[in-house]
Amino acid sequence: MSRGIPKTAEHVSAGHPDKFCDQVADRYLDEVLKLTGDNLDHRRGLRTAIECLAKDNLLVITGEVKLQPEVRMAIDPVALAREVWQDIGYPCDDGVENLTVVDHIRSQSADIALGTDVGGAGDQGIMVGYATDENDEMMPREYSLARKLITTLREHQLSGHLPWLRADCKTQVSLDADGEVASVIVAAQHAEDIAHDDLVEAVYREVVVPVCGELPRERVKINGTGRFTIGGPTGDAGVVGRKIVVDAYGPRVSVGGGAYSGKDASKVDRSAAYMCRHIAKTIVSRGDAKECTVKLAYGIGLHQPEMVSAVTETGTDLSAWVREAFPDLSPTGIIDHLGMLNPEGWSYYQSAAHGHYGRDIFPWERVADV
């Protein structure tokens, strides 16, 4: 389906301003789940659709929720945002103490609640999932490499191994038609006191080579402008959901629904997208395909999908098998199947940076016993 052609994917760090917003939104969702304790009935009724906009030291948190009054009152958006800021590693002298948070969260529309409160989808949409056998992550190789570059940068930032490295980084990997690395691009935010040539050499040796191997230097571009000291929301505004291709599989795979972060599991944009990945990974793991793309389409207020599609790299249609193997693809059925109301060993906050797929901590990454 997609082999034998050049491919490119990018990834961004936890310190990217859009990822800052995604992490704040999902940190809010995690706090909601925490404050509802083990009461699954309360959790089934909660709704969050959190949006964020960040620029400099201003963060606007908005969107819609349906929460018990005591839960909503117990959440401190300012404290949550400051926790995320510090976890990312934004310098405190850039304003964590002075971070201004505008809370403009409002109640969910009663019209939408008419459908979601009885287990229907909260909106229409087409969700897409994918899996491939080309690596252990079952993710596109160009995506996996771009992400590994980011996580390696993150490790060096947190450990202090590269003490001048800062939180806001981007990477991009291109593969040729044979699947070999054709070029690598890295943008690494840095302190003022590192010379450009020293930075380039360190990033090449400590990041690029361990991930992509030795490459001709002309095929590796690091900090192309020569300087990247201003990053995070100071360098660029951030918005929830602006990195949906990075969140998913890279541009090899089409994007279906909307953003994930900040949305509770009743939103099929999130839950059904995760289920599509779960199904696709199950199909490839069974040996039924080398690649599989799964799509589910929903209508607002409706319980079961209007369309179920599963197609392999050879064009084989496995849609009928999916309907038989996964008979309940309603939002409630997906939530229960994946345990999305009761995170154990994982959090939504963890999914908001470094991609939502290809990491075994998440339940949608397990293979179904079907």
Give pLDDT tens digits for 177-225: 999 999 999 999 999 999 999 999 999 999 999 999 999 999 999 999 9
64 in catalytic set: yes
Amino acid at 305: P
16 in catalytic set: yes
Cα gap 137→284, rounded to integer Å: 12
Placement of tokens 């999130």 in the chain? 270
Per-residue confidence (pLDDT) for residue 1, from 0 to 100? 47
Token pair listed for 44: 């089934």
CATH topology of domain 125-136+252-365: GMP Synthetase; Chain A, domain 3 (3.30.300)
Q: Is 17-116 the same fold as 7-13+140-232?
A: yes
Lowest mean pLDDT among 40-49, 131-140, 253-262, 306-315: 40-49
242 in catalytic set: yes
Q: Could you say which of 7, 148, 190, 243 is catalytic?
A: 243
Per-residue confidence (pLDDT) for residue 123, from 0 to 100? 81
Concatenated DSSP letters for 161-230?
SSTTEEEEEEEEEEE-TTS-EEEEEEEEEE-TTS-HHHHHHHHIIIIIHHHH----GGGEEESTTS----
Contact indicator for 94, 234 with CB cutoff of 8 Å = yes
Q: Could you say which of 56, 133, 236, 336 is catalytic?
A: 236
Token pair listed for 200: 């380039």
Q: Could you say which of 22, 26, 51, 365 is catalytic?
A: 51
103 in catalytic set: no
Mean of the pLDDT values across residues 243-262? 95
Q: What is the DSSP letter of 341?
A: T
Q: Could you say which of 182, 237, 325, 368 is catalytic?
A: 237
Q: Could you say which of 43, 82, 242, 354 is catalytic?
A: 242
Q: Could you say which of 267, 270, 337, 356 is catalytic?
A: 267
192 in catalytic set: no
Per-residue confidence (pLDDT) for residue 131, from 0 to 100? 98
DSSP β-bridge partners for residue 103: 61
Per-residue confidence (pLDDT) for residue 208, from 0 to 100? 98
Q: Could you say which of 81, 137, 142, 228 is catalytic?
A: 228
72 in catalytic set: no
Per-residue confidence (pLDDT) for residue 97, from 0 to 100? 65
Q: Could you say which of 10, 247, 269, 291 is catalytic?
A: 269
Contact indicator for 189, 94 with CB cutoff of 8 Å = no
Q: Kindly report the backbone phi and psi dihedral angles of residue 317, in degrees, each rounded to the nearest multiple of 5, phi listed first.
A: -95, 115
243 in catalytic set: yes
94 in catalytic set: no
Query: Burial level of 18, CB count in 10 A (0-12/13-18/19+)?
Result: buried
Q: Could you say which of 30, 56, 64, 288 is catalytic?
A: 64
Contacts of 303 (CB under 8 A, 6+ apart): 119, 120, 121, 330, 331, 332
295 in catalytic set: no
18 in catalytic set: yes
- CATH no. for 7-13+140-232: 3.30.300.10
Q: Could you say which of 11, 19, 47, 166 is catalytic?
A: 19
CATH class of 17-116: alpha beta
Q: pLDDT tens digit string along 291-305?
A: 999 999 999 889 999
Residue 42 in this model has a pLDDT that exceeds 80: no
Domains of the chain by residue range: 7-13+140-232, 17-116, 125-136+252-365
First to last CA, the chain: 25
228 in catalytic set: yes
7 in catalytic set: no
Cα gap 370→365, rounded to integer Å: 15
Q: Kindly report the backbone phi and psi dihedral angles of residue 291, in degrees, each rounded to the nearest multiple of 5, phi listed first.
A: -140, 145
360 in catalytic set: no
* Percentage of the chain modeled with pLDDT above 70: 96
Mean of the pLDDT values across residues 280-301? 96
Residues 319-358 as b or e (16 or more Cβ within 10 Å = b): eebbeeebeebbbbbbbbbbebbebeeebbbbbbbbbbbb
Token pair listed for 36: 């509802």
